[in-house]
Chains A and B, each alone.
Chain A
Amino acid sequence: MGMNGLDSVQPGSMYTVQIVDGREVTFDEEGFLLDPDLWNERLAEMLALEDGLPELSTIHWHVISFLREYYFANGKAPLNSELRKGTGLSLSEIEAGFPRGIRQGARRLAGLPNPRGCA
């Protein structure tokens, strides 16, 4: 493992650019949009397809809409309790509804920034 594996976990150096609907869209190394303002429904459908979801249901759109509305109203992603209250769904249900779960699934499809915290 190069450099004892330390360099392999450095964020920020592996962005990719894709052309979506004629626009350049930049994604980070985990496939998150760098600029949430570039999101549109077509992009969400494209990302869903990458995740193995050929079609987004009403419930998917409900979760995505809540995430986006909350993010643009508050400048941050909702707390766990707010996500549950705001969607009326348990986090277990949301996790199960998106093939890649909440953070890598719902949140990525909603075009929110990569949640780098915690880790």
Chain B
Amino acid sequence: MSHDAQIIYLDNAATTFPKPHEVLSEMQEVYGRLGVSPGRGTYDLAAQAEETVSQVRSQICEFFGGDDPERVIFAYNATDALNTLILGLVTPRCHVVSSRLEHNSVLRPLHHLRREGMFSYDLVPFDGQGFINPHDVAGSIRPETKMVILTHASNVLGTIQPVEEVGIICRDHGVPLILDVTQSAGVFPINMKSLGADAVAFTGHKALMGPTGIGGLVLRRGLDIRPTRFGGTGIDSSSLLQTDTYPHRLEAGTINLLGIIGLSTGIRYVIKHGMENTYQNEMTLLRRLRDGLAELQPVHVYCGDNLDNHVAVLLCNIEGMDARDLGDILDGDFHIAARSGLHCAPLVHLDLGTSPSGGVRFSPGPFNTSRDIDVVLDAMREIVMSR
């Protein structure tokens, strides 16, 4: 294959690429007009920028079925949002329930706090098809459990977790349910009320089609998070105390206006093109990939037998080959960008038996075609045949 060939990008679970032209052009246009510090100062432009931000808060609140736009908190990404949430919600000697499917964005804050002696946690397992059992969550909840925090869709296996059932369990126990919707937001409808979620953490640069550097939290009214970062908010500036008022309570420093504009345009793009359409197209590609890989004997696909409750993520390995080398070969020899390694979710790979080199993850996005999948299958066939 020529090295001048265009790359086939299949790492949309990490970041969707490329971004729609309308997202990039809107970012340039609006930021060109309003790129000042939102809500700082008394001049009109700052007020107009703040109004733009407020409108995006309302848009996001509606998108996720939240109950108060002022409980939409902007962050750099989902990891940043989850840190804000976890650090601001836990109390000494409390307990947290999570799962072994989690990304390091959840595992590392939890582990750090446990090592500091702050609290304890239990991680529920996943089954052979990549799903947690809600009964395991129920069995792990203790009187001192402060929250249940779960990924909505695994970033390694793509499995959509039974969070509605967990939501009922959490409500019955009076424990907040926090969902990491990093992999599902933008391809799968998320309504906090119907899922029973008290908070969702999202990022803008994946299926919401925004740029990197923007994400956030949507909090149910009544779920109070202590601030863990402190600084300028543009309100209550005479006080040395961080303001209690949402959203500023959890947003210290000038926010990422350019990212917020891109996120807003990305969400409009997603809605305009229809989440269901996008989801079905991506899953059609994933099934084509799964079926093709199944014909290659030394290729092992993980948790791909039934793709009904999945987002478009497929993990595989070639027997006897380091997954990172397979990723390098796909890139260097075939111009295919896929994500190899542990995907920042070390416990999933420990439990699958794929540590330490992990696996190769293919994640089609809205701009992939069936031809792209056929090129991948040809490449995988050639790699297998050459061994």
Contact = CB atoms under 8 A, between A and B. Distances in A.
A5 B350 contact: yes
Given A4-B123, A84-B333, A95 B325 contact: yes
A103 B341 contact: no
B195 to A, nearest CB: 26
Contact of A101 (B325, B343, B347): B325
Contacts of A91: 325, 328-329, 331-333
Contacts of B287: none
Contacts, number: 78
A83 B327 CA distance: 14
A101 B387 CA distance: 12
B365 to A, nearest CB: 19
Interface residues of B, number: 32
A14 interface: no
Contacts of B3: 81, 84-85
Contacts of B107: 6
A92 B341 contact: no
A102 interface: yes
B243 interface: no
A84 B333 CA distance: 8
A100 B322 contact: yes
B59 interface: no
A118 B331 CA distance: 14
A25 B222 CA distance: 58
Interface in B331-380: 331-333, 339-344, 346-347, 350, 355-358
Contact of B321 (A4, A80, A95): A95
Interface in A63-90: 80-81, 83-85, 90
Contacts of B324: 102-103, 115, 118-119
Interface string A103-119: 11000000000010011
Contacts of B346: 5-6, 9
Contacts of A5: 346-347, 350
B366 to A, nearest CB: 24
Nearest to A84: B332
B328 A103 contact: yes
B387 A118 contact: no
A100 B321 CA distance: 8
Interface string B65-87: 00000000000000000000000
Interface of B: 3, 100, 107, 111, 123, 321-322, 324-325, 327-329, 331-333, 339-344, 346-347, 350, 355-358, 382-383, 386-387
25 contacts: A1-B350, A5-B346, A6-B107, A6-B346, A9-B355, A30-B356, A80-B331, A81-B331, A83-B332, A84-B332, A84-B333, A90-B332, A91-B332, A92-B329, A92-B383, A95-B325, A95-B329, A102-B322, A102-B325, A102-B329, A103-B322, A103-B324, A118-B339, A119-B341, A119-B358
